[in-house]
Each structure stands twice: as C-alpha cells, then as structure tokens.
Structure 1
Amino acid sequence: MSAMLQLLKSLTLAELRKGLGVTGRYFFKRKLTVQYPEERAPISPRFRGQHAQRRYPNGEERCIACKLCEVICPAQAITIEAEERSDGSRRTTRYDIDLAKCIFCGFCEEACPVDAIVETHLYEYHGESRDDLLLTKAKLLANGDKYETQIAAARAEDAPYR
C-alpha cells in the first residue's frame, strides 16, 4: 500500500506543488533586503568580529600570559610568547592571532580570566595577503584602544548572561 501511495504522489506531482506553494507564499511578502553600504542591519551585542586586547584604566595591558586562550583555540590560530618581568609577573612579548585560521568561536574570550582578549563588532576589514590577516600584539592593542568604549558597552549589555 505504501508503494502505491508513493507512486500516486509522484504521478500527481505532489512534491512539486508543495514546493511551489512555499515559493508562492513568500513571493508576495514584503522583502527584507538591506541596501548594505547605505543601511546597516542591527548587530547583536554577542556578535563576534575582529579581536582586540584590552588595557586596564592605568594603561597597563591586561594579558597575564596564562596561555589559556592559546590552549583552548580549536583552530590553533593564537601564538603567545611570554617572559617574566623584574617584578615577577609574566607579560607577553608576542601575541599573534592568524585570522586566516580563526573560526571566531569565542572560546579565547571565554577562557580569558582577566578579559584581556575580546571580539569586537568590527566586521569590515580585509587583507590582500595572508600577512594582512595576522593580528600582532600592537594591532590588537590598537584595536582595543580604539574601540574600548564600544567593547565596554557591549560587555555591560551582555553582563546578565555571563
């Protein structure tokens, strides 16, 4: 009986009519197209864009070279080298993120105990070579300095869910 029903459905083109019905329902609805350069769609406070390193209010970088972000990164996109300072604390001498490898999962941000590495809402960037997609410590700190107010606002908005 099941084979007979399947044959009847295929002869009457039931699947085709069902698909055309879905297309017809959406054909006459109002379109939701955004004219991108002129208009922008709203961005979620949890959006994960380009990375940045934050500083404390006194200007000292937050990263304590614990290397948790490097260990947890599934794409192995983070490279950290550190050395001990004269006061006994560790600080990074090299902190690189390869955006060609990064999958923007946010694990590095979640693993960081001092909120040093964050993902900003910056999504408009490009590179003409692989070297352009390598974020060095200087670039990360510059991103953090430039977008600190936006980062702090997004963190405050997302605080109840953390």
Structure 2
Amino acid sequence: MFRKIYTEEYPEKPRPTAARFHGRHQLNRYPDGLEKCIGCELCAWACPADAIYVEGADNIEGARFSPGERYGRVYQINYLRCIFCGMCIEACPTRALTMTNEYELADKGRAPLIYEKHQLLAPVREGQLPPPFPMAEGTVERDYYRGKVTAPTREQRDFVFARDKAAQRAAEVKAAGDDKPDHEEVSR
C-alpha cells in the first residue's frame, strides 16, 4: 500500500524488449544483396492464422532476385490476423523470414496493417547490391545456403552499374521527349 507506484513513460522512454521477442517480420538478404525468400510458400502453409500470402515466380537467368529457381514475387503479412507465434519462422527452409523487436504496429485503418514485400524486405546495406542481378559467377544456389558467398563480385557490380546507367539514360530520353511540344500544339 505504501510502495511507490511505477509509472510507465512509454512514448518518451520505450522499454527494451527481450532478446527473443516476437515482433514485426523481416525478409532477409544474402551478403551480396539477393533475397533469401525462394517463394516456396511454406510459411503461408504453416501459419495457423492464415495471415501470410506468398506468390512465387521464376527467376530469369542473368537477372535474379534470389539464388534459387524461384523468388517471392508477392509477399504479404496481414498483421490484423497474425498472432506472432513464430511458426512461419520455423517453416522457412532458407532463414529468409525472421522476427524483429519492432512492436509498434497500430494504425487508424485496416489497409496499412497488411504489409507488402517492400515493407518487409530488409534494406540494402552498405556493400550489398539491389536485385535483380546474376548470381556470383561460378556458384550454384547451394553455395549461397552454405555461406560461401560473402560479398558481391566485380561482375555483379558491373551488371548493376550498367543496368542503372541504362535506366538513367532511358529516364533522361523520356524527360527530354516530354519537354518537346507535340505536333498538334506546334500547328496551333
């Protein structure tokens, strides 16, 4: 009765979570930047709340999103249904899906609580490349799973540089074409 009442100062001073806290999900990447998700849909099958939707697609040779034959083209987690049990993490064969310590998942509407792939995917860190690009030369997908790929190769860097340069040129040509008046406007 005479003990001091502990007041939680939540928004100003959030308390640290436990090391194994189950928070928001994250789709991970390999050290070169390729995605670990292979679109197998095992996480969706394992989810008891039916909160995960995965749609796989085939990788194109030379421009891959993951080292396997397939990648997760569409990946959604409905946090209105998720019970944070971790069954999806256990089912993932490539450790593509993990749980972070982020727990602030409130919103005013329902639609923002359905997280899409771009919201779940781990950001490209320093030294990684944004996919799509070819696998490291001389490797097979098994080498990625075994941890033999530790960084992007020179060939991968050159491919991404050439891809980005071509996209920049295409954007410049389109912008220059938009500045010119149409034939109809000139005749008026």
Q: Normalising TM by the smaller chain, what interval?
A: 0.5 to 0.7
Q: CA deviation at 1:122?
A: 0.9
Q: 2:54 aligned with 1:76, yes or no?
A: no
Q: How does 1:78-117 map to 2 (within 5 A)?
A: 78-87=52-61, 89-117=69-97
After superposition, residues 11-50 of structure 1 pair within 5 angstroms as 27-50=1-24
Aligned length: 119
Query: Is the contact between residue 105 and residue 113 of structure 2 (CA under 8 Å) also seen in structure 1?
Result: no
Please, which of 131, 137, 145 is the counterpart of residue 123 of structure 2? 145
Please state which structure has a larger fraction of its residues in helix: 1
Unaligned ranges ≥5, structure 2: 62-67, 126-188
RMSD between aligned residues: 2.0
1:85 shift after superposition: 1.9
Among 32, 40, 57, the alignment partner of 1:66 is: 40
**2:74 aligned partner, one-letter code:** R
CA distance in 1, matches of 2:54, 2:101: 24
The answer to whether 1:129 aligns with 2:129 is: no
**Structure 1: stretches of 5+ with no match in the other structure:** 1-26, 148-162
Shift of 1:86: 3.2
Q: Distance in 2 between matches of 1:102 and 1:109?
A: 13
Larger gyration radius, structure 1 or structure 2: 1
Q: Deviations over 1:3-54 (max 9, x none)?
A: xxxxxxxxxxxxxxxxxxxxxxxx2334333221222323101111111111
TM-score normalised over the length of structure 2: 0.58
Q: Displacement, 1:126?
A: 2.4
Q: CA deviation at 1:67?
A: 1.3
Report the secondary structure of 2:107's partner residue: coil
Structure 1 residues 115 and 126: CA distance shift in structure 2, 3 A: same
TM-score for both structures, normalised by structure 1: 0.66
Q: Contact conserved, 2:76 with 2:115, CA < 8 A, in 1?
A: yes
* Inter-partner Cα distance in structure 1 for 2:124 and 2:17: 19
Superposed displacement of residue 66, structure 1: 1.7
2: distance between equivalents of 1:102 and 1:40? 23
